[in-house]
Structure 1
Amino acid sequence: MTARPSRTVRLLSSALAAGALLTVAACSDEDGGSAASDVAASPVAERSRAASPLAAKSPTVSPAGRLTAAGARAALVTEADLEDDWAQVSDKEAASWRESLLVGKVDVAEFLTAKSDAADCQKLLDTLYSDDLLGKPSGAGALRGFEQGDSRLLQQVAAYDKVALDESLAWLKTLPTECDQFTATDDTGDERTVQVTETSVPNVGDARQGLHITVQGTAADAPATLTLDVAVVRVGTDAITVTAGGLAGGEDDSVERAVQQGTARLKDVQAGRTPSPDPGGID
C-alpha cells in the first residue's frame, strides 16, 4: 500500500504509511437467504437486544418512516459492539480514508468473452476506493471508523432508493463470478492482481451479500497484499455496509459481529427505539 490518506487499512510499517480498508456488500436475496445462494447462515446466533424508549428530542425516524441523520448515527456500532481492541477514530479521520492499492485501470484484454465484466470490475475498484459501493444514498446516512493494530473497520448506515438498492445488491452478487480474478494497472505501470470471492453473512436483515477481496501489488517499493472483508445487509430501504481488513489479513470475525450488532441497532431505530448501550453477548 502506498503512503496516502486511506479509507481502508494502515500499512504494516511506517514506510507503508497509508491504510487499507473500505466499505461494502449485501446479497439481494429477497427470501432472506445467505450471501451465496442459499448458503447456510453463520452458526453464530443473533441475540435479542434490549432497547429503551426513544428520546423525544431527537427522533431517529421521520413521521413517514424514513431514517433521519440522528437515526443513522444511533444505528452505528460502538467499541462495545465490536469488542476486541477496536478503537473508534474521529469522523473526520474515517471520512478521509482512501486506499491507493485500489486505484488502477482494469485490463480489458483479460475479458475475451464478456467485455461488460471488465466494466463491472472497474466499478468495483472505483466504488471501493470512493466508499460508495451501494451508490449514493437517497436519504440520511452516517459512518464510523475503528482501528485495531494495522487494521481498520468502517461501517456505514444509510437510506437508499429501494429499486436502486436492490440493483446494487444484485450487482454485488455477480462479482465473485464476473470478477473472480483480474489485473489492474496504475498510472505508473505497476500491476495489481485482484481476486474476489463470496463469503457468508449472518442471516440477518432482508437481504445480504459478503465479499472477500485481495489486491496484490507493490507499496513503497515492496510487495504488498491488501485483504478486505466486506458485508452489506439491507433492512427495508436502509442498508448497513461494513468493510474491514488490511495488509495483515482480513477481519471476517469482526465484520460478522458488526453486521449482527449493527442490524439489531438499525431495527431498533426503525421501530422508534433507542439502541441499548449494552450490546449483550453473542454465543
Structure 2
Amino acid sequence: MPLPPARLLAAALAAAALLTVSGCLSREPDRANGTGTDAPSTGPGSAAAPALTAAQAQSALITETDLGGPWTPTEGTATWRDGLLKATTNVPDCQRLLDVLYSDELLGDQSTTPAVVALDDGDDQAQLRYQVATRHPADVDRTLAWMRTLPQRCEQFTAATTAAGLQYVQVTNAELPVVGDARQGLRVTLTGQTTNDGYDPVTLTLDVAAVRVGDDTIALTNGALGTEPSDVTRQALEVGVQRLTQVRRQTRVQA
C-alpha cells in the first residue's frame, strides 16, 4: 500500500542528507549571548585595509580537519535547502530572512565573496557553509543590527513551502563566542505539521551567524534535521577568526 505524500516527504527529508549536485553590535550588552559588539578595530582616521585577495580569503577558510570527524567536504546541496528554506511569508523582514537563508547571501551576492566552503556531517544530516569576505564595516554593522531585530520581529511566524507544506518558524538569539569586533547569531527552527497518520513532523534547526573582524567578515550557516551537532558553530567561529587574523597579520608583514 503506497505511503501518503506527507509521510513520503518526511521520510525523504529525514533519510537523505544531501543531494549530489552543488556549486553550493552597540557595545557588548550581553556577552553570554554574543549579541553585542566590542570596540571596533578601525575608526575615524583609520585607513581601511585592502580587500583580501581570493587566495588570502581561501587560506582563511576553515576545513573539515578543524571540526574533526565525521565532517567531510560537501557532496552537494542539502536536501532541506530546497525542501524547507524555499518558503514564503507575508511578513517582510521574515521573508528577507528566509531569502537570505535560502540564497546563503548574508554578506550579499556570492559572486563578490572571495571564498566559500561547505562541509557535511552525514551522521547528523548536517551541512555547514562558511564564507570570508572583505566588506565595508558600516554595511556589515547594518546587517548585524537588522539581525538583532529578528528575534522580536520574527519570533514566531508561518511560512509556506511547495515541497513540505506549512512550516512553523521560530527565531531566537544564538549564543556565539566573544570573537571579532562585532557579531550576531540567530537560531531558526522550521517545524512542519503533524501528519494525518500521526507521524512527528520534520524539524530543521539552523544557526546563522556573522562576525566582523576589522574590514573582513565571516558568515556561517549550520543546519541539520533534528538536533545540530554540539558546539560546531562556536568551534568554527573561534578557529575561523583566529585564522583570518593570522592571514591579515601576514598580509601586513608582506606589505
Q: Which residue of 1 aligns with 2:167?
A: 192
Distance of aligned partners of 1:252 and 1:158 in 2 relative to their CA distance in 1, 3 Å threshold:
farther
Q: Which residue of 2 aligns with 1:79?
A: 64
Q: Which residue of 1 aligns with 2:190?
A: 215
Question: After superposition, where does 1:1-283 map in structure 2 within 5 Å?
Answer: 11-14=13-16, 28-29=25-26, 31=27, 33=28, 37-40=29-32, 65-89=50-74, 93=76, 98-106=81-89, 108=90, 118-136=91-109, 140-148=113-121, 149=123, 150-187=125-162, 190-217=165-192, 223-272=201-250
SS in 1 for 2:13: coil
- Could you tell me how far 1:96 is from its partner in structure 2? 10
Distance of aligned partners of 1:64 and 1:195 in 2 relative to their CA distance in 1, 3 Å threshold:
closer
Deviates more, 1:72-81 or 1:187-196: 187-196
- Could you tell me how far 1:273 is from its partner in structure 2? 5.8
C-alpha RMSD over aligned residues: 3.5
Matched letter for residue 39 of structure 1: R
Q: Which runs of 5+ in 1 are unaligned?
A: 5-9, 43-62, 109-117, 275-283
CA–CA distance in structure 2, aligned partners of residues 245 and 2 of structure 1: 22
CA–CA distance in structure 2, aligned partners of residues 141 and 102 of structure 1: 24
Distance of aligned partners of 1:246 and 1:97 in 2 relative to their CA distance in 1, 3 Å threshold:
closer
Which string of whole-angstrom CA distances, capped at 9 and with x for unpartnered residues, describes residues 106-133 of structure 1?
1x3xxxxxxxxx2110000011000102
Distance of aligned partners of 1:253 and 1:220 in 2 relative to their CA distance in 1, 3 Å threshold:
same
Check conservation: 1:18, 1:99, Cα contact below 8 A.
no
Q: Which residue of 1 aligns with 2:42?
A: none
Check conservation: 1:226, 1:246, Cα contact below 8 A.
yes
Moved over 4 A (4+): 1-4, 16-19, 94-97, 137-140, 218-222
- Could you tell me how far 1:105 is from its partner in structure 2? 1.8
CA–CA distance in structure 2, aligned partners of residues 153 and 65 of structure 1: 28
Q: Which residue of 1 aligns with 2:43?
A: none
Q: Which has the higher contact order (CA 8 A, sep 6+)?
A: 1
Check conservation: 2:187, 2:208, Cα contact below 8 A.
yes
- Could you tell me how far 1:272 is from its partner in structure 2? 1.8
- Could you tell me how far 1:40 is from its partner in structure 2? 2.5
Give the TM-score normalised by the residue count of structure 2: 0.75
Give the TM-score normalised by the residue count of structure 1: 0.68
Identity percentage of aligned residues: 40
CA–CA distance in structure 2, aligned partners of residues 97 and 255 of structure 1: 19
Q: Which runs of 5+ in 2 are unaligned?
A: 1-5, 35-47
Select the structure that is richer in helix. Answer: 2
Matched letter for residue 267 of structure 1: T
SS in 1 for 2:14: coil
Distance of aligned partners of 1:139 and 1:130 in 2 relative to their CA distance in 1, 3 Å threshold:
closer
Distance of aligned partners of 1:248 and 1:189 in 2 relative to their CA distance in 1, 3 Å threshold:
closer
Q: Which residue of 2 aligns with 1:59?
A: none
- Could you tell me how far 1:231 is from its partner in structure 2? 2.0
Check conservation: 1:197, 1:212, Cα contact below 8 A.
yes
SS in 2 for 1:98: helix
